[in-house]
Amino acid sequence: MKVTAIANANIALVKYWGKRDERRILPQNSSISVTTDCLSIKTTVEFSPEYKKDILILDDKEFKQGSKEYDEYFESFLNKLRNLAKKNISLYRHFNNFIRNSYIRNKFVIRRRTWREAPMFVKVVSQSNFPRGAGLASSSAGFAAFAAAANKALGLGFKNKELSILARQGSGSASRSIYDGFVEWKKGERKDGLDSFAEQIVNENYWPDFRMIICLTSKKEKKIKSRTGMAQTVKTSPFYDGWLKTIDDDLKKVRKGIIKRDFSLVGKTAEENCLKMHALMLSTKPPIIYWNSGTIELVHKVIEWRENGLECYFTIDAGPQVKILCLKKDLPEILKRAKKTAGIEDIIVTKPGPGPKIVENHLF
């Protein structure tokens, strides 16, 4: 069955940076994000005995075994999907024992044989409307769309909680893109990760005045992927324990700020949290420096504009792009100023947006 899903990237207000279990993708700390309404990835998946191998095409480029995308991200996620599908087949088998000689039974038997006898290869084609791997949370949208499409294609029947756990195993931040609006990924305590999933704080319509101006200072793919960078930080930054000690307070403030629509509280805490994460990156050995001159220019401008009475804050992820947080009323003035700032290649305005959707128009 061919299924297509669209999901949106989310931007963290309290960041996830570091894992306690790298294989299961379990985080050291909980995090909070807002799902965007326009950084979208559309993904079509088809599992079929007709394919002789797995095929992965991202933005018109095929990734084969030996590439980072295939080996580190795609293959392990796919194996998880295959295991889930196998478990599903044993459910069919169990069901079969009760419905002998019926049409339904025959249908299940055929399905079971197909899965068991033929290797289950998949074709995945994915298209994004923004640069991938440039610090715009593309893996959050990518794996949320992949998980949502695979859920339907394999008939897993997962609801949001299970879907969030599944997406998390592709990329941690994808656990949050399963929901619209403002979302918290609870780190969980269990070793198997079954309590590490995201939940919605408020939906996409709760705070209609909240805006994020994404200023692109470079569209180039970053040199150090989040996955590699955060693992190195946990191992080598002398400040990592300090980061963990302050997280609960940041989470409390951002959660409260969102519920009360207190922009100053959310903005101030998000900016401080982002700077703490970048302090971790800078203190990693060897250092991780995602910022370029355009990034620094904008950071200074945002602080200057705020000091002069225009309320705005910044947040930056694992890349050089600056996301300016502001309210709808201040958007035109901040946009005007951002456009005049040196080093800005492109600007995207976003607000709280929707979770994944299944759509009919496939990519192949």
Which residues are near ligand DP6 by CB under 6 A? 12, 15-17, 25, 31, 137, 139, 171-173, 226-227, 317-318
Cβ-closest position to ligand DP6? 172
Q: How far is the CB of 1 from ligand DP6 (least distance, A)?
A: 27
Q: How far is the CB of 15 from ligand DP6 (least distance, A)?
A: 4
Q: Give, as one character, the DSSP assignment of residue 221.
A: P
Q: Which is nearer to ligand DP6, 3 or 167 (CB)?
A: 167
Q: Which is nearer to ligand DP6, 15 or 276 (CB)?
A: 15
Q: How far is the CB of 361 from ligand DP6 (least distance, A)?
A: 28
Residue 47, Cβ density class (10 Å: 0-12 exposed, 13-18 middle, ≥19 buried): buried
3-state secondary structure of 134: coil
Q: How far is the CB of 305 from ligand DP6 (least distance, A)?
A: 24
- 47 within 8 A of 1, measured Cβ to Cβ: yes
CA distance 76 to 114: 23
Q: Which is nearer to ligand DP6, 46 or 180 (CB)?
A: 180
Q: Which is nearer to ligand DP6, 172 or 193 (CB)?
A: 172
Q: How far is the CB of 83 from ligand DP6 (least distance, A)?
A: 19
Q: Which is nearer to ligand DP6, 15 or 132 (CB)?
A: 15
Cα torsion 197, 185, 201, 127 to 10°: value is: -90
C-alpha angle with apex 353: 347 to 356, nearest 5 degrees?
Answer: 115
DSSP codes, 45-99: EEEETT-SS-EEEETTEEE-TTSHIIIIIIHHHHHHHHHHHHHHHHHHHHHHTTS
Q: Which is nearer to ligand DP6, 61 or 68 (CB)?
A: 68
Q: How far is the CB of 32 from ligand DP6 (least distance, A)?
A: 9
φ and ψ at residue 315, rounded to 5 degrees:
-140, 150
Tokens representing residue 8 in the block: 């949106």
* Residue 246 neighbours by CB under 8 Å, 6+ apart: 276
Q: Can you say how many angstroms the Cα of residue 37 is from the centroid of all Cα atoms in its chain?
A: 13
Q: Which is nearer to ligand DP6, 15 or 211 (CB)?
A: 15
Q: How far is the CB of 321 from ligand DP6 (least distance, A)?
A: 11
